[in-house]
Amino acid sequence: MLELLPGGSQLTAELVRRARSYVGVSPSLAVIGVCRHLYAGAGTFVHGDIRELEQFQPGEFGAVAAWRCAIDLLDDEQRRLLLAGVRRVLAADGGFIFSSHNLAGRSPEPELERRPGRAGGGLLRALRPRSGRALRPRSGRAPMDEGDLGHALLSGIDGELEAGRYHIERDAQQRQLEELDFRLLECLDLSGTAVPAGDLAADSPELHYAAQPAPVKPPVV
């Protein structure tokens, strides 16, 4: 089991407890230090860039998890790099489970939207591109020009966020996964209800996805 951006949460504790072998990777040395202290002797915590995962072997993991909309710290280009890296390290019959902000969902209350800015600031700095260019910030609730493609970066209404959070519609997320050689197994809203293709799930500010590597197509003879 590989968890992207682990933390001192009940989710991480449950994964560490249940997995035969657990690895958590984060670009934050502080987070890695806290996790090593909290879960001493149980699991391995690695300092590294989640967009590349080059330290891991192809097909090394039976499952990869990214909770708390962790991958939404990345813009579209970096998100695709991450998904390609996850695809490489997943076993052929492995599973990728993650959550992401729903572009069609209702906006959270202002006080809820401010909290990720405080908690995520260190990770945002750690996830800067190597060129030194920051993740592209956005002011207000105006989406990027990619919004008509089903995804956008949206920032907090109070300007507190260092950069926008990635939001994507359910069907756009399925297309993105398929472009990167995954197949979507299931999408659920926050109540645990299945969200079928074509459903915007407008009452759910985030959605949860389960995907697998797409079956290898036989060569055309």
Distances, alpha carbon 64 to alpha carbons 40, 113, 116, 129, 137, in Å: 21, 26, 22, 23, 28
For the chain, domains (ranges, CATH) are: 49-213 (3.40.50)
High-pLDDT (> 70) share of the chain, % = 74
Nearest 5°: CA angle at 95, between 91 and 99?
140
pLDDT of 123 reads 46
Q: What is the mean pLDDT of the chain?
A: 82
Structure tokens at 208: 């949860």
Confidence of residue 164 (pLDDT cuts 50, 70, 90): confident
User: Confidence band (pLDDT; 50, 70, 90) for 10?
Assistant: confident
pLDDT at 113: 39
Percent of the chain with pLDDT over 90: 63
Mean pLDDT of 181-205: 97
| pLDDT tens by residue, 36-67 | 999 988 899 999 999 889 999 999 999 999 99
Average pLDDT (66-75) is: 92
Q: Given pLDDT bands bounded at 50, 70 and 90, which one contains residue 128?
A: low
pLDDT for the residue numbered 215: 87
Does the structure show a pLDDT above 90 at 207? yes
Q: What is the 3-state secondary structure (H, E, C) of the chain?
A: CEEECCCCCHHHHHHHHHCCCCEEEECCHHHHHHHHHHCCCCCEEEECCCCCCCCCCCCCEEEEEECCCHHHHCCHHHHHHHHHHHHHHEEEEEEEEEEEEECCCCCCCHHHHHHHHHHHHHHHHHCCCCCCCCCCCCCCCCCCHHHHHCEEEECCCCCCCCCCEEEECHHHHHHHHHHCCEEEEEEECCCCCECCCCCCCCCCCEEEEEEEECCCCCCCC
Residue 200 has pLDDT above 70, yes or no: yes
